[in-house]
């Protein structure tokens, strides 16, 4: 494990590795979309520096509100936020996190009025949300699920293209008339660019078999995720689209690395 730099240190190591198939990376929306858009020292291209082998999982986010907020739908949340001079306070695990960028995207697309409050991780932000020291938050379903299940937090929208089985009664943003804000965290398998074709084919086949394993799918479902069912070429296009999408959000919102 090579931590640091929002995942850019480990990603750069893989990008520079010998393309023999023995150095692999479980990349994500963070390592191959948001972090390269923010971290000036990320000396790799999120698409061209890698052989993109395929997707593993997709985890939607949810818009969750503090107990003190009465909004039951996303539209009500937007309307209530517009009555506050500085909008609602909305936490995130940190500046440039997907949670933060999704908040900025919602502000741009839906008129949500919000002040971003960055934390050092999702845990402290959720703790303040539970105590109504924050008004709302965009969070990954996997970390909010326990609090939604016991009723300590309430979700007004899911950001996935369809409802998660963990939250069958909470409509998506798309269902509530909000287009262009389908957001999910992906994970996928990456190797250095220039992998020999036979090695690439072997790894792609092994990955496809692994993610189809019922036990793997069960584990993903328990954490609010699902198998990312895309062919290799489709997933590669998706990675490129996500990189472009979040780079545009970073630039339009004027977000800079702290």
- The arithmetic mean of pLDDT across residues 67-92, rounded, is 96
pLDDT at 25: 97
Q: For residues 53 and 7, which has the higher predicted lDDT (pLDDT)?
A: 53
- The arithmetic mean of pLDDT across residues 27-55, rounded, is 93
In contact, 184 and 162? CB cutoff 8 Å: no
- The arithmetic mean of pLDDT across residues 156-185, rounded, is 92
Q: What residues have CB less than 8 Å from 3, skipping those under 6 apart?
A: 9, 10
Q: How far is the C-alpha of 198 from the C-alpha of 78, rounded, in Å?
A: 52
Which residues in 112-134 are b (16+ Cβ under 10 Å) and which e?
Answer: bbbebbebeebeebbebbeeeeb
Q: How far is the C-alpha of 127 from the C-alpha of 138, rounded, in Å?
A: 14
The answer on pLDDT for 187 being more than 80 is yes
pLDDT at 2: 83
Percent above pLDDT 70 for the chain: 99
Give the number of other CB atoms < 10 A from CB of residue 5.
Answer: 17
Rounded to the nearest integer, the mean pLDDT of the chain is 93
pLDDT at 62: 95
The answer on pLDDT for 207 being more than 90 is yes
Confidence band (pLDDT; 50, 70, 90) for 5?
confident
pLDDT at 130: 95
pLDDT at 143: 87
Confidence band (pLDDT; 50, 70, 90) for 73?
very high
Q: What distances in angstroms separate CA 135 from CA 81, 120, 143, 256, one per listed residue?
A: 9, 18, 17, 24
pLDDT tens track for 133-147 = 999 999 988 889 889
Helix (H) / strand (E) containing 200: helix 197-211
| DSSP bridge pairs for 184 | 60
Phi first, then psi, for residue 120 (nearest 5°) are -100, 75
pLDDT tens track for 110-130 = 999 999 999 988 899 999 999
In contact, 237 and 52? CB cutoff 8 Å: no
Q: What residues have CB less than 8 Å from 49, skipping those under 6 apart?
A: 15, 192, 193
Q: How far is the C-alpha of 40 from the C-alpha of 42, rounded, in Å?
A: 6
What 3-state DSSP class applies to 131?
Answer: coil
């Amino acid at each position: 494990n090579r931590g640091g730099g929002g995942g850019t240190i480990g990603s750069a190591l893989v990008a520079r590795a010998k393309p023999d198939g023995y150095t692999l990376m479980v990349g994500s929306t963070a390592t191959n979309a948001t972090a390269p858009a923010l971290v000036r020292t990320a000396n790799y291209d999120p698409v061209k520096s890698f052989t993109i082998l395929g997707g593993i999982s997709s985890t939607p986010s949810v818009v969750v509100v503090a107990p003190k907020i009465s909004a039951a739908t996303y539209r009500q949340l937007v309307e209530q936020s517009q009555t506050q001079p500085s909008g609602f306070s909305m936490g995130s695990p940190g500046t440039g996190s997907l949670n933060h960028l999704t908040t900025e995207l919602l502000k741009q697309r839906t008129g949500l009025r919000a002040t971003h409050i960055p934390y050092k991780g999702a845990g402290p932000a959720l703790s303040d949300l539970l105590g109504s020291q924050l008004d709302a938050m965009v969070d990954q379903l996997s970390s909010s699920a326990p609090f939604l299940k016991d009723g300590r937090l309430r979700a007004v929208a899911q950001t996935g293209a369809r409802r998660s089985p963990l939250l069958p009664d909470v409509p998506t943003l798309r269902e509530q008339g909000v287009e262009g804000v389908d957001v999910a965290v992906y994970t996928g398998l990456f190797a250095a660019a220039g992998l020999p074709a036979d090695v690439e084919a072997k790894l792609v086949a092994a990955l496809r078999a692994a993610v189809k394993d019922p036990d793997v799918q069960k584990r993903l479902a328990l954490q609010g995720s699902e198998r990312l069912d895309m062919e290799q070429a489709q997933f590669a296009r998706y990675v490129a689209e996500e990189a472009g999408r979040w780079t545009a959000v970073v630039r339009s919102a004027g977000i800079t690395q702290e």
